[in-house]
Structure 1
Amino acid sequence: MAHRVREMMAWVVRAPISGEVVEFDEVYAGAKPRQKAGGGPTGVKSGRGPRRLVLTAVVRGGEARFRVIASHGKDDIGPAASAMVQAAGTFMTDTLPAYSMLGADRRSVKHSGKEFARTDPDGTSVHVNTAESRHADLRRMVLGVRHWISQKHLDRYLEDLAFRRSLRESDVLARLGAALSSPGRLFYRNLVASS
């Protein structure tokens, strides 16, 4: 039943977002992170583990979108970014080379050089902190509420988070009305399908 409610919520947040400043970042999600080398019991490998990569797009002060992607490459990030964002005045990213496809209206911070935020001479705040805050929301959702998210249903949980984040200023009745107005329906056979 909960997945059927998430499907109704998903219809509200599947449309691309638009905004003056849109931030992009990516995060590994969907499973508990492995412990770092030397920090865990014998036999626990370090690294990313079986988690899936999620691309996040956030309008500063506005809506958020998430999409599971296969890699950090431009062949995966490009189509996902195009599907998530309709229009933006400026894109904010880190220095991942795949983001170069966003064009000249992109500003980036160099995390490897310990740069996390800066103010350009024109007064623009350059950072991806809003997107990273959505990642914190995702981690908190896993740790505090869900405790575990299956790889199969990760998209549904991401759409749940996007719905709640994007409609956070609305009252309960407005959120309920938005979810109930969705044209979608999740059939049980689709929910339990192996793919």
Structure 2
Amino acid sequence: MAAQRQGSVRAQKVTSDKISALRPVVTATVNKDAWIMSDGHHSYKNIAESFAGHQRVIHGKREYVRGSVHVNTAESFGAMLERVKEGVFHYMSGKHLDRYLREISFRWNHRIPIEKETKAGKRKITWTPMPVMTMLKSVLNDATGKQKRRTPNNGLAFFYS
């Protein structure tokens, strides 16, 4: 999963946490000019060499934030994924995991940030869903040039023009 702070997220199923499985996904998803912020997992240190820079926090050493270095955005998406799994889907099969991830990413990417001030005087960003018609317009824009058809065995076939 790749998350841009106060921006969009992209998530997809990977086969393992090894460099050979992660590198193609990260290089296809993340701009080469980006700084990679990661946890202490060793694979990202190697992968991040081909990007603008890399900073990491080591949770095992009880380090969660160091200045602007943190992975809180990614962890927030992971928390949302867990809440949706427990409260909506109840089970996510490996076979359909990419579909679940696309739906949850869609929900994440179609939110509006609202800056509020807490009682203590701190500024905080909260999120609210986009209006339904705005989301529908986004779905229809993404559907341009694509077709879905039922197959004889009641599956789905996708066609792209």
Pick closer, same or farther for the CA change 1:150–1:191 going to 2, 3 Å.
farther
Q: Does residue 112 of structure 2 align to residue 150 of structure 1?
A: no
Please list every run of 5 or more consecutive structure 2 residues that lacks an aligned counterpart in the other structure: 113-129, 157-161
Partner residue in 1 for 2:63 = 115
Report the Cα offset of residue 184 of structure 1: 2.9
* Alignment coverage as a number of residue pairs: 133
Q: Does residue 5 of structure 2 align to residue 60 of structure 1?
A: yes
Partner residue in 2 for 1:89 = 34
Equivalent residue for 2:48, pick from 102, 126, 136: 102
What RMSD, in angstroms, separates the aligned Cα atoms of the two structures?
A: 2.0
Distance in 2 (CA, whole Å) between partners of 1:62 and 1:156 is 21
Distance in 2 (CA, whole Å) between partners of 1:84 and 1:185 is 25
SS in 2 for 1:176: helix
Higher relative CO (CA 8 A, sep ≥ 6), structure 1 or 2?
A: 1
SS in 2 for 1:86: coil
Distance in 2 (CA, whole Å) between partners of 1:129 and 1:172 is 27
**Most deviating of 167-176 and 60-69:** 167-176
Could you state the TM-score of these two structures normalised by the residue count of structure 2? 0.75
Pick closer, same or farther for the CA change 1:172–1:79 going to 2, 3 Å.
same
Letter in 1 for 2:135: R
Q: Deviations over 1:30-61 (max 9, x none)?
A: xxxxxxxxxxxxxxxxxxxxxxxxxx110000
Distance in 2 (CA, whole Å) between partners of 1:78 and 1:89 is 15
Report the Cα offset of residue 148 of structure 1: 1.5
Equivalent residue for 1:175, pick from 113, 135, 138: 135
Letter in 2 for 1:168: R
Please list every run of 5 or more consecutive structure 1 residues that lacks an aligned counterpart in the other structure: 1-55, 120-124
Distance in 2 (CA, whole Å) between partners of 1:129 and 1:166 is 16
Q: Which structure features the higher share of helix residues?
A: 2
Distance in 1 (CA, whole Å) between partners of 2:107 and 2:70 is 23
Partner residue in 1 for 2:106 = 163
Partner residue in 2 for 1:184 = 146
Letter in 2 for 1:176: L
Report the Cα offset of residue 129 of structure 1: 1.0
Pick closer, same or farther for the CA change 1:191–1:149 going to 2, 3 Å.
farther
Report the Cα offset of residue 97 of structure 1: 1.6
Pick closer, same or farther for the CA change 1:114–1:92 going to 2, 3 Å.
same
Report the Cα offset of residue 84 of structure 1: 1.7
Could you state the TM-score of these two structures normalised by the residue count of structure 1? 0.62
Give percent identity, aligned residues only. Answer: 35
Report the Cα offset of residue 66 of structure 1: 0.5
